[in-house]
Amino acid sequence: MTDASVPQNVAPPPAEVPDVDLYHAHSWITKYVFSQDAKVIAIQYAGTAIAVGILALVLSWVIRLQLAFPGAIPFIDANVYYQSVTMHGMIMVVYMLTAIFLGGFGNYLIPLMVGARDMVFPYVNMLSYWVYLIATLVLVSSYFFPGGPTGAGWTLYPPQSILTGTPGHEYGIILMLVSLILFIVGFTMGGLNYVVTVLQARTRGMTLMRMPLTVWGIFSAAVMALLAFPGLFVACLMLLLDRTLGTSFFMPSLVELGERKDYVGGSPILFQHLFWFFGHPEVYIVALPAFGIVSDLISVHARKNIFGYRMMVWAIIAIGVLSMVVWGHHMYISGMDPWFGFFFAVTTLAIAVPTALKVYNWVLTLWHADIHFTTPMLFALGFLVTFVNGGITGLYLGNVIVDVPLSATLFVVAHFHMVMGIAPVLVIFGAIYHWYPKITGRMMDERLGKIHFWITFLGAYAIFFPMHYLGVLGMPRRFYEMGETAFVPASAATLNIVITVIALAVGFAQSIFFYNLFKSLKYGAPAGGNPWRAASLEWQTPETPPGHGNWGKHLPVVYRWPYAYSVPGAPEDYLPQNAPPVRGEHSP
C-alpha cells in the first residue's frame, strides 16, 4: 500500500506488526495489585522507589547532622552513622535510581513511545515488580534484626564487611546480600522485557532511528544492566558464602582483633573487580535514561528538534560500550597491578568525548529555539548545569595520577552526588512534571513546581559545589568524626554546618513536590491528551490516561521521527509522529 504522493523517506514500511492478545483483568486485584499492565507496574515501581528514596533522604539528614554537629545528637553513634551511610548509598543507587528509571519510566514509556500495546511478557513484568518489592522489604527489614543493617559502606568491601568491627555483621550484611540477589533476579525479568519489547514490538514505521532518545537511553541502560548485574550477582553470592559457610572466595588468612580466622587464600581485590564491573556501568545505567529523557524534555519545551539525533544515538551506544571497560578507575589505589592505571585512565577519559558531544548537542538544541520556561524545562536545564559540573570533575578522578590525592576524600563524594545524584534526580522531577498529565489527565501546579525547582537546584548546587574544596584540602570521606586533625582548619567545620543547614532545607522543600503531586490528582487543571503539544507517540493515545492496550482498536502508524518541531511549511509548530505526511516534508 504505497501512496505515490507520499515521499519515500517518510512512508511506513509495509510489514504489519501482528497485534497481540492481552490478558484482560477481571477484578480490582488483578487490575491494580497483581496487574500485568506495564503502566500500573510502572506506577508500582516508581511508588516503591520513591518511598524507599524518602527513607534514603532521611538517612542523609542523619549523615549531615553528624558531620555538622559531631557527638551532639544523642541517637547518632558510629554504628548509626555508618549504617546510615551504607543504606543511603545502596538505596539511592540501586533501589531508587535504577528502579525508577528502568522499572518506572521504562515500563510506562517504552510501550507508549514505540507504539506497543504492552510489554512483550506482561506476566514476567508483573513478577519483576513483586520480586523487587520483596528485595526492598528484605533490605529495610534489616532495621528490625539484632545489630541492625550493615554499616559496611555501600561498596561492601570484604574482609571488613563481614567481620565484627563493622555494624550489622550479624544479620544486616546477610540481608543486604540476599536483597541484592533478589533485586537482580527481579531486574533481569524486567530488563529482558524492556529489551525485547524495543526490538520486537515497535509499531509500523517506528524504525530504531525514529525512536525517541528516552527509549534509546532506557534500552541501552537495560542492555548494560543485563550484562553488568551478573558481576554483582556472583560477588554477592560468594560473599554470602564467605559470611555464612566460611568459604574463602574473598577472604585471605587474617587475624581479627587478636583472633586467627580460618579463612585462607581468598582475594579482597577480586571482590572489588566484580563489584565495580557492575558498579561503573551502573553509573551509566542511571545516566543513560536521564540523558534520553532530558533530550526529549529540551526538545519539546524548546519547540525544536534535538540537534544531531544520529550523533546522540551513537554517543549513547559508545558510552554504553566504553562504560563496560572503565571500572578499574575506582581502584587506582586499591593495590591492583599499577599498570592497569594506564589502561583505565585512557578508557575513562575517552568516555568524556561522546559525553561532551551529548552536552554540546543539548545546548545547541537551544540555538534558534523557541524556549518555554516550563517546570520540566527548568529541571532539564538544572540537569545540564549539575551534569556538566559533575562530569568535568570526573576528568580529575579518571586521570589516574590526579585521582591519587583526591580518592577517598570528600571530592569524590561531591563528584558523584553532583553527577549521579543531583543530576538524575533533577531529571526524574522534570520527567514527572512532564508526563504527569499523561499519567493522570491533570496538570501539576506550575507555580509550586517552579518554587520546588529553584530551592532544589540552587540548594543542591550550594551543598555539593563547596564540598569539592574540602576534598582538595584532603578531608577523607567515611569519617564518623574528624576529631583533632592538624591539617583541617576550624573553618571546615563551619562549612560543614552551612552545608547541613542547606541540606535540611532542601530536603524539607521536597514536601512542596509531594503536596503538588497529590493535590493535582484532584485539583489539577484538566490536561487534555497533549498539553505540551509534543510530537512523540505517547501523547497521541486515543485516551488520557491511556487505557489497557494503549491504542484502542488500531495500532498507530508512524511516518517520521519524534522531533518534528517547527518544521517549515507545517501548519503548527509540531507534527505528531503518526500524523499523515505533509506534502514536501523531509523528516527523517
Partner 1 sequence: MFIAIAMVLVVAGSILFHVLSPWRATPIASNWGFIDDTMALTFLVTGAGFVAVILFMAYCLYRFRHVPGRRAAYEPENQKLEAWLGIVTTIAVIVLLAPGLLVWGQFITVPKDAMVIEAVGVQWSWSFRLPGADNQLGSSDVRYIDTTNSMGLSPADPKGQDDLLIASSELHLPIGKPVKVLLRSIDVLHDFYVPEIRAKMDLVPGVVTYFWFTPTKIGEYEILCAAYCGTGHPQMRGKMVIESEADFETWRTAQQTFEQSRKSDASRDKRASAQ
Cα distances (angstroms) measured from residue 476 to each of 69, 85, 94, 482: 17, 14, 24, 9
Residue position matching grid coordinates 591519587: 404
Residues 6+ apart with CB under 8 A from 75: none
Which C-beta is closer to partner 1: that of 44 or that of 409? 409
Nearer to partner 1, 4 or 257 (CB): 257
Q: How far is CA 495 from the centre of its chain?
A: 29
Task: From 412, 426, 250, 442, select the one nearest 330 (Cα to Cα).
Answer: 412
Minimum CB distance to partner 1, residue 487 (Å): 5
Residue 468, burial from CB neighbour count under 10 angstroms (0-12, 13-18, 19+): buried
Q: Which CB atom, from 237 or from 472, has the smaller least distance to partner 1?
A: 472
Q: 226 vs 482, which CB is nearer to partner 1?
A: 482
Could you give the CA distance from residue 550 to residue 554 in angstroms, rounded to a whole number?
Answer: 10
CB of residue 415 to partner 1, shortest distance in Å: 12
Report the residue number, 243 or 304, with the smaller CB distance to partner 1.
304
| Residue whose CB is less far from partner 1, 100 or 369 | 369
Nearer to partner 1, 386 or 550 (CB): 386
Q: Which is nearer to partner 1, 54 or 364 (CB)?
A: 364
Nearer to partner 1, 79 or 141 (CB): 79
Q: Which is nearer to partner 1, 15 or 255 (CB)?
A: 255
Residue 269: CB minimum distance to partner 1, A = 6
Give the nearer residue to partner 1 in terms of CB position, either 74 or 569: 569
The CB-of-373 to partner 1 minimum distance in angstroms stands at: 6
- Specify the DSSP element, H or E, that contains 297: helix 268-301
CA–CA dist 154, 82 (Å, integer): 10
CB of 219 to partner 1, least distance (A): 21
Complex with partner 1: residue 449 or 546, whichever CB lies closer: 449
Cα–Cα dist 291/98, whole Å: 14
Q: Which is nearer to partner 1, 98 or 407 (CB)?
A: 407
For cell 499519567, what's the residue?
439
Nearest to 413 by CA among 504, 499, 350: 499
Find cell 545546548 and name the residue. 363
Grid cell, residue 490, equals 576550624
Nearest approach, Cβ of residue 571 and partner 1 (Å): 12
Strands 255-256 and 259-260: antiparallel
Q: Between helices 446-473 and 410-417, what is the axis angle to 10°? A: 160
Burial 154-187 (b: 16+ CB within 10 A, else e): bbbbbbebbbeebbbbebbbbbbbbbbbbbbbbb
Please tell me the number of Cα atoms within 13 Å of 24 on its side-chain side: 5
Please say which residue, 81 or 105, places its beta carbon nearer to partner 1. 81
Between 25 and 349, CB nearer to partner 1 = 349
User: Cβ of residue 543: shortest distance to partner 1, in angstroms?
Assistant: 30
Shortest reach from residue 497's CB to partner 1, in Å: 14
Q: Least distance from C-beta 372 to partner 1, angstroms?
A: 5
Each residue of 226-252: b (16+ CB within 10 Å) or e?
bebbebbbebbbbbbebbeeeebbbbe
Phi-psi map region of 566: left, alpha, beta (phi>0 left; psi -120 to 50 alpha) = left
107 contacts 124 by C-beta, under 8 angstroms: no
| Contact (CB, 8 A) for 109 and 538 | yes
Q: Which three cell numbers stand for residue 154?
A: 555501600
> What is the distance between the alpha carbons of residues 280 and 224, in angstroms, rounded to a whole number?
10
Query: Cβ 204 to partner 1, closest distance in Å?
Result: 22
Beta carbons within 8 Å of 384's beta carbon, 6+ residues apart: 294, 359, 362, 363
What is the smallest separation between the CB atom of 509 and partner 1, expressed in angstroms? 16
- Give the residues across from 260 on adjacent strands: 255
AA letter at 261:
K
Min dist CB 281 to partner 1, Å, is 21
Least distance from C-beta 365 to partner 1, angstroms? 9
Contacts of 558 (CB under 8 A, 6+ apart): 12, 115, 203, 204, 205, 206, 210, 537, 577, 578
Q: Whole-angstrom Cα distance, residue 455 to residue 434?
A: 19
Q: Minimal distance in Å, beta carbon 479 to partner 1?
A: 4
Measured from the CB of residue 306, what is the shortest distance to partner 1 in angstroms?
9
